[in-house]
Structure 1
């Protein structure tokens, strides 16, 4: 395991804490950006010596407690006592659909509530502002600005006591590899660009494409000779099964609050061609190649240009430079210190 934040980091606590997270699903069964962001945030807490548990709120395939990268995952099927875990916890973390119920539980047992926000939808901020949130975590500067607009519009909302920006942490050494030859889309639902991938594969029959099945949504998986469908991939295996086979990553998403897959690809110097959502323009920075998702001619022209060796070397250099800029160590240190400061 790569060490994200040293156990002896300044501001750390010598007292091991019991940290409980309530989420709907987790790897290896469910692999989406929100879950892998959470895993990347929990790993440094484990490395600091804290007891970290994730309790699932939906039924899945697992029936017994299992370990995922040092994190203890408790399936709903295990029928263990979640309220008792909250009662004993020093902090309770929730995201997405679990926030309202976790907030009620936190209030009942007096546990500090941490809400990790993954999107800028009004419901996300409304849930975080329901009262009792000790710490809200935003995944970008853009999201923080949107939160401020929400609180300005609804001044009677209860602001979280504290807020922090933690960009979805990507440990470059977990993903860096030698790029492959394919043009790849991760999660082929329509909102992520499944139709764009299909259209480009039809336009470029001389080029190999990878269509990686996503964790959610209808999947558009073209039945074409130059498209290989890659089944749902555990985040631990993305380097070998996806990025080691990818030359260019597509992200023609209609919405991305950040875009973790793009940051993962940058670690290998893989150029990312993306729709200019506010999140993607912030995450990819100058390394991103931005084309409107409706402009198929533009996507094809950019891809053919990137396949030229000289252009690819320049784009790859920019990608690696941006990956270095996104080193998560400092933000994760701040995150750990904030969690330790909440301890009851």
Structure 2
């Protein structure tokens, strides 16, 4: 989402630089490096180098997110620039950062997040993360898949389902964050290492995606799967409903038998599976069209701060 906004601003003639820095003072600093990624100037550096490199550029607007927010806000303050915070969730750290950083604009990834944080900033807007169907769409496989094997994503339920369905093969994908739980898994669960090529290594092998998460601010993984017509079975929480609307099957995450029955129906009822598949494809396309407008609006809001 951030990259899409920055690309839009760069295409309008603005000078855009992205700094990749440690997310905390305890994190090891990367080696200093400058390169161009998809038309955007990128600098990886330590917090000390951030001050040395960014301040002489005299930025008009500074954008920060996640653990880097306090450092970005400080640069904005020292440069007398406007500060924009990109908000991905509404946990206590996010609220604390907003209170401390006092952004001129908060860019939120869902309306729900915006409603919870808008009182802590001067202005706010919603920019849903874009999931381009053409990037993710592929043929489908025959596995029941969970992405990110940590407790919040529902790995315990995933293993219970797999154990109850020895006739079905499952795929567990190592996530990019959180403690990954792979010990004691049923023998019909294959582990896929963390990958940047989800289309080739995950979606092309998946028949149904399971999303029994306890918390999600915005379930991008559901829309990635939906681009290939993969049915989605999910826990009925706001972040998943925001992404999938009425195009997923929503189940109680504590009812293992109901999940097993629904998966069995997808594997045995062709008409049911085809209807869910068509709904997934339609949802993927509709949401992407909406997010394209979000990106333009987000870029407009950031650009207006410089005037």
Give the TM-score, by structure 1 length: 0.79
Q: Which runs of 5+ in 1 are unaligned?
A: 1-36, 152-158
Deviation at 1:146, TM superposition (A): 1.8
Change (3 A) 1:66 1:312: farther
The reply on whether 1:84 has 2:47 as its aligned counterpart is no
Name which of 160, 164, 179 aligns with 2:125. Answer: 164
Structure-1 separation of matches of 2:156 and 2:35: 37
Structure-2 separation of matches of 1:83 and 1:132: 23
2:25 matched to which residue of 1? Answer: none
1:24 matched to which residue of 2? Answer: none
Alignment of 1:242-321 (within 5 A): 242-307=202-267, 308-321=269-282
Structure-1 separation of matches of 2:83 and 2:8: 19
Name which of 176, 189, 193 aligns with 1:227. Answer: 189
Per-residue Cα deviation, 1:64-92 (whole angstroms, up to 9, x for no partner): 33444443432236974444324432321
Q: Which runs of 5+ in 2 are unaligned?
A: 23-27
Change (3 A) 1:194 1:144: same
The reply on whether 1:133 has 2:103 as its aligned counterpart is yes
RMSD, aligned CA: 2.3
Contact map agreement 1:56 1:73 (CA 8 A) in 2: yes
Contact map agreement 1:259 1:283 (CA 8 A) in 2: yes
Structure-1 separation of matches of 2:41 and 2:179: 30
1:22 matched to which residue of 2? Answer: none
Contact map agreement 2:223 2:284 (CA 8 A) in 1: yes
Contact map agreement 2:29 2:47 (CA 8 A) in 1: no
Q: Secondary structure at the match of 1:254?
A: coil
Contact map agreement 2:21 2:29 (CA 8 A) in 1: no
Contact map agreement 1:55 1:82 (CA 8 A) in 2: no
Per-residue Cα deviation, 1:137-188 (whole angstroms, up to 9, x for no partner): 111111122225xx3xxxxxxx423211011111121111122211111111
Per-residue Cα deviation, 1:6-58 (whole angstroms, up to 9, x for no partner): xxxxxxxxxxxxxxxxxxxxxxxxxxxxxxx4334434344445443322222
Name which of 27, 48, 65 aligns with 2:34. Answer: 65
Change (3 A) 1:300 1:69: farther
Deviation at 1:130, TM superposition (A): 2.7
2:135 matched to which residue of 1? Answer: 174
1:198 matched to which residue of 2? Answer: 159
The reply on whether 1:337 has 2:300 as its aligned counterpart is yes
- The number of residue pairs the alignment matches comes to 297
Deviation at 1:249, TM superposition (A): 1.0
Deviation at 1:287, TM superposition (A): 0.6
Change (3 A) 1:267 1:92: same
Q: Secondary structure at the match of 2:151?
A: coil
Alignment of 1:16-95 (within 5 A): 37-58=1-22, 59=28, 64-76=33-45, 80-86=49-55, 87-95=57-65
1:9 matched to which residue of 2? Answer: none
Give the TM-score, by structure 2 length: 0.88
Contact map agreement 2:209 2:231 (CA 8 A) in 1: yes
* Larger fraction in helix: 2
Structure-1 separation of matches of 2:221 and 2:132: 12
Q: Secondary structure at the match of 2:105?
A: strand
Contact map agreement 1:83 1:105 (CA 8 A) in 2: no
